[in-house]
Chains A and B, each alone.
Chain A
Amino acid sequence: MNLAMVRYILGYILQIEGALLLAPALVAFIYQEGTIQPLLVTAFLAFALGLMLRWHKPKNQIIYAKEGFAVVSAAWILLSAVGALPFWLSQEIPFYLDAFFETVSGFTTTGASILPAVEDLSLSLVFWRSFAHWIGGMGVLVFALAIIPMADNRSMYLMRAEVPGPTAGKLVPRMKDTVKILYSIYLGMTILQIILLKLAGMPWYDTLINTFGSAGTGGFSNRNLSVGAYQNGTYEWIIGIFMMLFGVNFNLYYFLLTKKFKDIWKNEELRLYLAIIALATIGITINLGGLKNNLSGSLRTSFFQVSSIITTTGYSSTDFNLWPAFSKTILILLMFFGASAGSTAGGIKISRILLIWRMIIRELKRLLHPRSVGVIKLENKTVSEKTLQGVSIFILVYLIIFASSLVFLSLDNVDFETNFTSVLTCLNNIGPGFSLVGPMGNFGFYSPLSKIILSLNMLLGRLEIFPLLLSLMPSFWKQK
């Protein structure tokens, strides 16, 4: 393990966070809030600590997969630990653990909150929480890759550890160019959504909060009732559609820009993603009684909720906790699915579901014809057995973590539905669950142990389990 290099990159990450903290500080300045002091102190601390960490440039700059995993998991924990300081220093969230939970929830684009009333929080801190969504959505290290001058070309290890999906690929030969393209698309779509929301009549501050929430597929709102608070159909359509768009693999937008329309149309993951959204929307609309009265209203509500849940955003336009069982069950299924690989969304990802489905079909065929040989394809490319194995193991580990987290949470003695959906919603980076943690509830009542478990779940979910799981093993950190 090249610890010196891990330290060095972490130093950069901290400095980037220090710079990013200036944004909420500016908000605090504009609204003349007292939080400007804790924000600036944290920014200074992050910057100074970052400077210290990268004081000595390591001689050996080579990183391998191991260092890639280490940097990514350490960076995300560190980001959250430092990012939580303003909440705690300002005493707007009195307990550090709660502040940490809130920040992890921000960076991992979960959107689960411990706050009973968001409106009590100062505007700048609400902004910081949502801004964390936007940063975390695309990935911090991927962003850092565009800035850090790396002597070595092994940055692929970092990208692979952070970008969600079974396989990670570059759009153009240079990592830096790839990152620039991805971030330009991200930024472009973000700005578009801000403008559209503004045109629809939303106040500036709210457009930023809602756009950050949907772009990072996070789901933090500045209202306790989430998007439902506005009671505005146009907002719901805009946010609903943009959430769906941010759940699409960003590579496809690059194809759009380079006019490779055929590649987009033929993309199997995109087709299945859109099909699932359509089916779920229709099913819930019918279940909500939309055919009998108020078709357009039910259609809008169900599309918004489906889009919000499948992209693991977690906005709500209504209290779906009160929906009939069928609709709730559909939502739970969508929570597992998640959106496309290479998007800002969490969850298992549609492409993994597709691969698992094809593996099941192949296995069934093999049982009937023991000598049959089958190759599994995705997007017209043969998927290697190594990748397939990786996908199966991923699902397995995912379930194991799910089950063991559930055991820890059950110690708090709340009802099963709450616990089950809490783990589900954190592990998949969604936000609200059902029952006590439903769209109108919050996670404040959980014990400290459960909060730690749920924070870990969020990080595991965002980093797709393995990087963080590896760094939890002591042997991983040995020098040899």
Chain B
Amino acid sequence: MRIVLVGDGKVGRNLVKNLTEEDHDIVVIDNDPEVIDEALNTLDIVGVCGNGTSYKIQLEAGVDKADLVIATMDSDELNMLCCLIARKLGAKHTIARVRNPEYSEQLHFMHEELGLSMHLNPEYSTADELFRILRLPAALKVETFSAGRVEMVELRLKEQSVLNGVQLKDIQEHLGVKVLICAVERDEEVFIPGGNFTLADGDKINFVGTPANILRFLQTMGYDKKPLRDATIIGGSHIAYYLGRMLSGIGIQVKIIEHDHDRCLELSELLPKAMIIHGDGTDQDLLLEEGLDKTDAVITLTGMDEQNILVSMYATSLNVKKVLTKVNRAALASLVMDKGLDVVVSPQEIIANRILTYVRGMQNSLGSNVETLHRMVSGKVEALEFRVRSTFSQTGKMLRNLTLKENTLIACITRGNEIIIPFGDDTLQAGDLVIVVTSNQHYDDLNDILKN
């Protein structure tokens, strides 16, 4: 597919890397020649230097023949204008980054009138991801499928876990809860486990199930007896606002520490239920005074990666149950994961995932296309949700008779209102939503999971 990316910022770079790996033709437009040079050196793309909202530059970049135009410049207005021009020139789909909350109220209008296929709000998406994790404090990551009816949770098995030494096929009788473990990470190695796989302490496991079953599963294992009561957010960014609003909404006491006084006033106006503290979020005395050691969760959301990491490490040392860190640079994220910070989210990753999902879905609008795509275990495993169409060659066949590719697993089937954790005698029917977990990359059709 031919994709034009306008504005090669932090999000853009990460995205281009992922998209080139999936064999798309990428043209990047940016008005900084140095940025273009750097991108050309490291990636197999073409660069056009100039103003992305200019008609001439867009034509030079071949927007008129593009399948998708993604605008991720700094300004919302420029992004919208860019997409509008691109649409008029003949681009088939457009995606704009729109972060200002005021615009999000008129999104419907924009989609209709500007022909925008999708809008991205990195801050909102990040807040949403953080919120999902906070609802299940034991989880390292929570992803949703089938409009929230199925969840996938990542978890690290603690010392002397009940699951230590248990084979996967015995889990059902062991705990009596219907969930399916679909990926295990042990010492940097990723397994898509079969029934004979034996779990051990320290494993990072991913499992799917309905939200209710997942909660029961966690409780039987001894996690999350008490739900979260309060949370402290360091840094009053846009993400903090969105997250504060979501947490207050379900009755969690929110405390936001922000160093800019005007922003504090703004926040207290926007979030009447939250407590806003004006002060330096990296000051240990202040943090202790505000009861950092007694809070249930700490979320570090300042604009500086280094500050976030340090404050999170400090919070971890105070034995705060749940510490979430936002890190912009993906390379740093993987570095600090080893340093005891379990939950590290990166807005770019989240946005890149959303666009990749969209692109894979677009690519195959006739076959059984990708409805949802989540990437787990630092991008090594993909969980894809497909809609089974009539083009799928094996409908009605029992799963045990399907020969799947290596490291591929059917994790869950949603049929109407029914959520099925599949076994060998289940079948796939047209109209089902099916979740496939794999460590192979780049599936974009349900038929891809079959051998040959």
Task: List A residues at the B interface (Cβ < 8 Å).
Answer: 65, 153-157, 169-175, 177, 381, 384
- A154–B43 CA distance with the chains assembled, in angstroms: 6
Q: In the bound complex, do residue B41 and residue A157 qualify as a contact, i.e. CB atoms below 8 Å apart?
A: yes
Nearest-CB residue, chain A, relative to B40: A156
A-B contact pairs, 15 of them (CB 8 A): A153-B20, A153-B42, A153-B43, A153-B45, A154-B42, A156-B44, A157-B41, A170-B46, A171-B46, A172-B25, A173-B2, A173-B27, A174-B44, A177-B25, A381-B49
User: Closest Cβ of chain A: how far from B429's Cβ, in Å?
Assistant: 40
Q: Using Cβ atoms and an 8 Å threshold, which residues of chain B touch A174?
A: 25, 44
Chain A residues within 8 Å of B46, by CB: 169-173
Contacts of B27 in A (CB 8 A): 173
Q: How far is it, in angstroms, between the C-alpha of A188 and the C-alpha of B148 when the chains are bound?
A: 57
Is B33's beta carbon under 8 Å from chain A? yes
Tell me if B68 counts as interface (CB < 8 A to partner A).
no
Residues of B within 8 A of A (CB): 2, 20, 25-27, 33, 40-46, 49
B44 touches A153 (CB 8 A): yes
Q: Please, which residues of chain B bring their CB within 8 A of the CB of A65? A: 41
Provide the residues of chain A in CB contact with B42, threshold 8 Å.
153-154
Q: How far is the CA of A90 from the CA of B165 in the complex (A)?
A: 72
Q: Does B41 lie within 8 Å of A173, measured CB to CB?
A: no
Could you say which residues of chain B place their CB within 8 Å of the CB of A177? 25
- For residue B2, which residues in chain A have a CB less than 8 angstroms away from its CB? 173
Residues of A within 8 A of B41 (CB): 65, 154, 156-157
A27 to B359, CA, bound (A): 51
Q: Assuming A156-B40, A177-B25, what are 17 further A-B pairs, CB within 8 angstroms?
A: A153-B20, A153-B42, A153-B43, A155-B44, A157-B41, A170-B46, A171-B46, A172-B46, A173-B2, A173-B26, A173-B27, A173-B44, A173-B46, A174-B25, A174-B44, A381-B49, A384-B33
Quote the shortest CB–CB distance from A150 to chain B (angstroms): 9
Question: Who on chain B is nearest to A153 by CB?
Answer: B44
Query: How far apart are the CA atoms of A156 and B44 in the complex, in Å?
Result: 7
Complex: chain B residue closest to A177, CB-CB: B25
B44 touches A175 (CB 8 A): yes
Give the distance in Å from the alpha carbon of A389 to the alpha carbon of B50 in the complex: 22
Give the A-B contact count at a CB cut-off of 8 A. 31
A173→B49 CA distance, assembly (Å): 14
Residues of A within 8 A of B45 (CB): 153, 173
Closest B residue to A176 by CB, please name it: B44
Residues of A with C-beta under 8 A to B25: 172-174, 177
Specify which chain B residues have a CB less than 8 angstroms from the CB of A381 in the assembled complex.
Answer: 49
Q: Residue of B at shortest CB range from A155?
A: B44
- CB contacts (< 8 Å) of A171 on chain B: these are 46
- Residues of B near A157 (CB, < 8 A) are 41
Distance in Å from the Cβ of B89 to the closest Cβ of chain A?
16
Chain B residues with Cβ under 8 A from A172's Cβ? 25, 46
Closest residue of chain A to B2 (Cβ to Cβ) is: A173
- CA distance in complex: A415, B40 (Å): 48
Within the complex, what minimum Cβ distance (angstroms) separates B58 from chain A?
16
- Please give the distance in Å from B276's CB to the nearest CB on chain A: 46
| Closest CB in chain A relative to B224 CB, distance in Å | 42
CA distance A177 to B46 in the complex (A): 12
- Determine the residue in chain A with the shortest Cβ distance to B20: A153
Which of chain B's residues has its CB closest to A168's CB? B40
List 7 A-B pairs, minimum CB-CB distance, nearest first: A153-B44, A173-B25, A173-B46, A153-B43, A173-B45, A175-B44, A173-B26
Give the nearest-CB partner of B43 in chain A: A153
Determine how close the nearest CB of chain B comes to the CB of A177; give it in whole angstroms. Answer: 8
The answer for the CA separation of A381 and B33 in the assembled complex, in Å, is 12
Give Cα distance in the complex from A426 to B44, angstroms.
34
Closest to B25 in A: A173
User: When chains A and B are docked, how far (Å) is the Cα of A154 from the Cα of B27?
Assistant: 16
Query: Which residues of B have CB within 8 Å of A173?
Result: 2, 25-27, 44-46
Closest residue of chain A to B46 (Cβ to Cβ) is A173
Per the bound structure, the CA–CA distance linking A156 and B40 in Å amounts to 7
> Which of chain A's residues have a CB closer than 8 A to the CB of B49?
381
Q: How far is the CA of A154 from the CA of B20 in the complex (A)?
A: 12
Closest to B50 in A: A381
B165 CB to closest chain A CB (Å) equals 35
User: Which A residues lie within 8 Å of B40 (CB)?
Assistant: 156
Q: How distant is A374 from chain B, measured CB to nearest CB, in Å?
A: 18
Closest to A178 in B: B46
How close is B349's CB to chain A, nearest CB, in angstroms?
20
Q: How far is the CA of A175 from the CA of B46 in the complex (A)?
A: 9
Specify which chain B residues have a CB less than 8 angstroms from the CB of A170 in the assembled complex.
46
In the docked arrangement, what's the CA distance between A308 and B41, Å?
35
With A and B bound together, what is the CA distance between A67 and B272 in angstroms?
A: 59
CB distance from A459 to the nearest CB of B (A): 25
Determine how close the nearest CB of chain A comes to the CB of B5; give it in whole angstroms: 11
> What's the minimum C-beta distance from B15 to chain A, rounded to whole angstroms?
14
User: How many angstroms between the C-alpha atoms of A170 and B26 in the bound complex?
Assistant: 12
Residues of B near A153 (CB, < 8 A) are 20, 42-45
Nearest CB in chain B to that of A387: its residue: B33
Bound together, the chains give a CA A157 to CA B42 distance in angstroms of 9
Shortest Cβ distance from residue B1 to the other chain A in the assembled complex, whole angstroms:
11
Least Cβ distance of A375 to chain B in Å?
13
User: B49: nearest residue on chain A (CB-CB)?
Assistant: A381
For the complex, what is the distance from the CA of A245 to the CA of B198, rounded to whole Å? 69
CB B335 to nearest CB in A, in angstroms, measures: 18
Within 8 Å CB of B20, what residues of A? 153
CA distance A154 to B25 in the complex (A): 15
In the bound complex, residues from chain A placing their C-beta under 8 Å from that of B33 are: 384
Q: Complex Cα distance A170/B27, Å?
A: 11
Q: In the complex, how many angstroms separate the beta carbon of B26 from the nearest chain A beta carbon?
A: 5
- Which of chain B's residues has its CB closest to A154's CB? B42
B291 to chain A, nearest CB (A): 47
CB distance from A69 to the nearest CB of B (A): 13
- Residue from the set B2, B26, B43 with the largest chain A CB neighbour count within 10 Å: B43
In the assembled complex, the CB of B226 is this many whole angstroms from the nearest CB of chain A, namely 47
In the assembled complex, which residues on chain B have CB atoms less than 8 Å from the CB atom of A156? 40-41, 44
Which of A157, A171, A173, A384 has the most B CB atoms < 10 Å from its CB? A173
A172 to B20, CA, bound (A): 13
